[in-house]
Structure 1
């Protein structure tokens, strides 16, 4: 069963990996993706992420169960942050454990495509000039990538 957490605090990817693999001899691969906040060429001072507590966890858990049904995973961890996140800080972590690498790669990519396009988060840019931008829409290229999963 997948572990899904939404939290304000930074996470430790190495500690999350260690927890997923502790006392496990059946895992042959861990595919890890960590997404970070970018400074967008020096114009971004922070990214603000909001969500509906409870609803967001349930929806991400639902998609994680779909990943577990599609691929022979031995573990799946998804950690997503909310709040004000500065450039260089981690935003999201996906760990997909499997016996063989292909299932891990595909499941991790599936989860990230979902998180980028349909997860119930709202993002707003805080700019270095002190202004707060509008809420950010998903990119067309992200929607296109997610479309391949049917």
Structure 2
């Protein structure tokens, strides 16, 4: 596997917009660990190896357990996640599929404020953009260091 373009180097001006989203989201009222779990789940769905490497390392540094990381792909069948996390995962999967049924909206609305739900949706959009950049340009996983991008 060979990286097609080092977009992190060659696309610095374009990436300022994505990094700006990250800066905003870090200041939001959404729990940082929850954001990382959602990033990890969406990266699983989108099959982004680079982002899976990154977010698994960030989650481990935050104290996340191996059991919860390994079980995330089957979160509906496991007892490891809170109701709020489950609402976030259902919302993330629905938004990622561009099909959000009313019952998933209601579940998310019962767990998050309107502002948090907007921020969660922005977080999902941001990880999708990162996934697509890393997949398109074949960013090689493995070298990411915790906190590397702030």
TM-score, scaled relative to structure 1: 0.25
TM-score, scaled relative to structure 2: 0.25
Q: Which structure has more RCO (C-alpha within 8 Å, separation ≥ 6)? A: 2
Decide which structure has greater helix share. Answer: 2
Decide which structure has greater strand share. Answer: 1
